[in-house]
């Protein structure tokens, strides 16, 4: 069983979760853009079809994305700032996915009738905002805490500092940004 979990997680330096997130985030973003364009009456029938198809792709990829993320999360040390950020990331992304699933259900009749449903594009925008927040938290996991990075060192950074990073050198001392110009 542990070999299967290891295979699902990916390989050292090449975890499975990040590229899957790119696919689902891209599909959700394209769908949201199509919903808004269709609501503005730009190629409305095509946007009604394309948005639902893109959204369907994002929801399909969400399953392995969530599975690989959950496996990564379960392997993190409990009680650490990184685990707290990862837990928030998990809940925000699950909420966004549920809203995108609701968007799919709201838009389905519009697909049949060549129209973009108002409720669908409104919920899609709300889901997209959550997606951006969740993506920021996910980026914090990688770029601040070094989660699943092969040469990551222990990074004792508080959640507050991780979510509002400043320029720092390798010893975590603040860098004078005026010297970088």
CA distances from 171 to 41, 144, 155, 156, 175 (A): 54, 13, 10, 11, 10
Q: Where are the domains of the chain?
A: 2-180
Q: At CA 141, angle to CA 144 and CA 132, rounded to 5?
A: 110
Give the contacts of 106 (CB within 8 A, at least 6 positions apart).
117, 119, 120, 123
pLDDT number for residue 180: 40
Q: Three-state secondary structure along the chain? A: CHHHHHHHHEECCEECHHHHHHHHHHHHHHHHHHHHHHHCCCCHHHHHHHHHHHHHHHHHHHHHHHHHHHHHHHCCCCCCHHHHHHHHHHHHHHHHHHHHHHHHHHHHHHHHCCCCCHHHHHHHHHHHHHHHHHHHHHHHHHHCCCCCCCCCCCCCCCHHHHHCCCCECCCCCECCHHHHC
Give the per-residue pLDDT at 169.
47
CB atoms within 10 A of CB 119: 14
Tokens of 9: 């997680």
Tell me the pLDDT of the chain (181 aa) as tens digits. Answer: 677 777 787 776 678 888 899 999 999 999 999 999 999 999 988 999 999 999 999 999 999 999 999 998 998 899 999 999 999 999 999 999 999 999 999 999 988 888 999 999 999 999 999 999 999 999 998 888 888 776 555 566 777 777 765 655 455 555 444 544 4
The model's pTM is: 0.80
């Amino acid at each position: 069983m542990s070999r299967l979990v290891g295979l699902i997680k990916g390989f050292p330096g090449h975890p499975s979760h990040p590229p899957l997130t790119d696919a689902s985030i891209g599909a959700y973003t394209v769908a949201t853009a199509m919903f808004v364009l269709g609501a503005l009456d730009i190629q409305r029938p095509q946007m009604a079809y394309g948005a639902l198809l893109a959204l369907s792709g994002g929801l399909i990829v969400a399953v392995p994305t969530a599975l690989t993320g959950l496996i990564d999360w379960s392997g993190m040390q409990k009680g650490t700032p990184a685990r707290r950020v990862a837990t928030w990331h998990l809940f925000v992304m699950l909420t966004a996915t549920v809203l995108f699933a609701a968007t799919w259900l709201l838009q389905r009749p519009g697909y049949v009738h060549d129209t973009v449903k108002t409720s669908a594009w409104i919920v899609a925008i709300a889901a997209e905002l959550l997606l951006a927040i969740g993506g920021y938290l996910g980026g914090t996991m990688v770029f601040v805490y070094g989660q699943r990075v092969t040469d990551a060192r222990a990074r004792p950074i508080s959640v507050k500092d991780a979510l509002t990073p400043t320029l720092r050198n390798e010893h975590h001392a603040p860098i004078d940004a005026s010297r970088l110009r």
